[in-house]
Structure 1
Amino acid sequence: MDKIPPILLTNIDTLDAVFQFLAGTFHQDTFYEDALKELLEETHKEYLQDAIVFLSEFLKNDYSSEEKREYIRYSADGIYFEGLEITPLEWLENIVEILKQTVRVY
C-alpha cells in the first residue's frame, strides 16, 4: 500500500469528504470511464452539488500543490494519471467541471 500522504494526517475531518468521494468512486475495481458514468447517472443531484463544494474547497485550500497531488493519487488509487496524460490536480479540476455541467442539466 502507498504511504499515507502527510496531508491526510493533518485534518481528517476536512479531507474526509474528498477521500470518501475519490476512494469510493475511483478505486482499482472499476474503469475510470465506467466509474464516472455510474456516478453521473446514479447519484442524486444534491450529493453532486455537495461534491462540487468540497472538491472546490480542497482545490483552493492552502496545502501545497504537491500535497494535493499526493492526496488525490492516494485517494483515487484506481486512476492511472500518466495514462490519461494529465496531472492529478488537472484531473480533479476536470471532474469538478463535469459535475457542474451535470448539475446544470438536472
Structure 2
Amino acid sequence: MYDNYDILEELCDFLDGTFHQDMGSPKQALEDFIAESSKECLVFTIKFCEEFLNSEISDQKKESFIKSNSEIYFPALGLTPIQWLKRVITQIKEAI
C-alpha cells in the first residue's frame, strides 16, 4: 500500500494536517491524531518520520522543513523541531 511514496510529501501532509493554526495545542493535536488514526496509519507515520530524521538532509534543513510545515512555536516547548519530532514518534509508538 505504501511502497511508492515521497517522505517529504507525507511528512508535510502529516504536519500541515495535524499541527495547524486551528489546533488547541500541539499535545492535544497529537492526541487527537492518535485517537482518530488506524494502527496501520500510525505505523506508516512512524516509518516516514524516522526515514526523514535518518535521511542525508542537513539538520538545519530538517528543522526548517518542520517549522515551515507546522504552526508550532518551538521555543515555548523548550525543544528544537528535531527533538520535538523524535518525541512525537515516541508518543505514537507508545500508543500502538
Q: Which runs of 5+ in 2 are unaligned?
A: 1-5
Q: Choose from 69, 72, 81 the match for 1:88.
A: 81
Give the Cα separation in 2 of the matches to 1:37 and 1:66: 27
Runs of 4+ residues deviating >4 angstroms = none
Specify the alignment match of 2:46 in structure 1: 52
Specify the alignment match of 1:27 in structure 2: 20
Larger Rg belongs to: 1
Give the Cα separation in 2 of the matches to 1:57 and 1:71: 14
- The answer as to whether partners of 2:42 and 2:92 remain within 8 angstroms in 1 is yes
Q: Counterpart of 1:18 in 2: which secondary structure?
A: helix
Task: Normalising by structure 1, report the TM-score.
Answer: 0.81
Give the Cα separation in 2 of the matches to 1:61 and 1:80: 24
RMSD: 0.9
- String of CA shifts for 1:24-69, please: whole Å, max 9, x gaps: 0001111212211111111111100000000000000000000000
Q: Which runs of 5+ in 1 are unaligned?
A: 1-12
Q: Choose from 39, 52, 55 the match for 1:61.
A: 55
Aligned length: 90
- The answer as to whether partners of 2:18 and 2:30 remain within 8 angstroms in 1 is yes
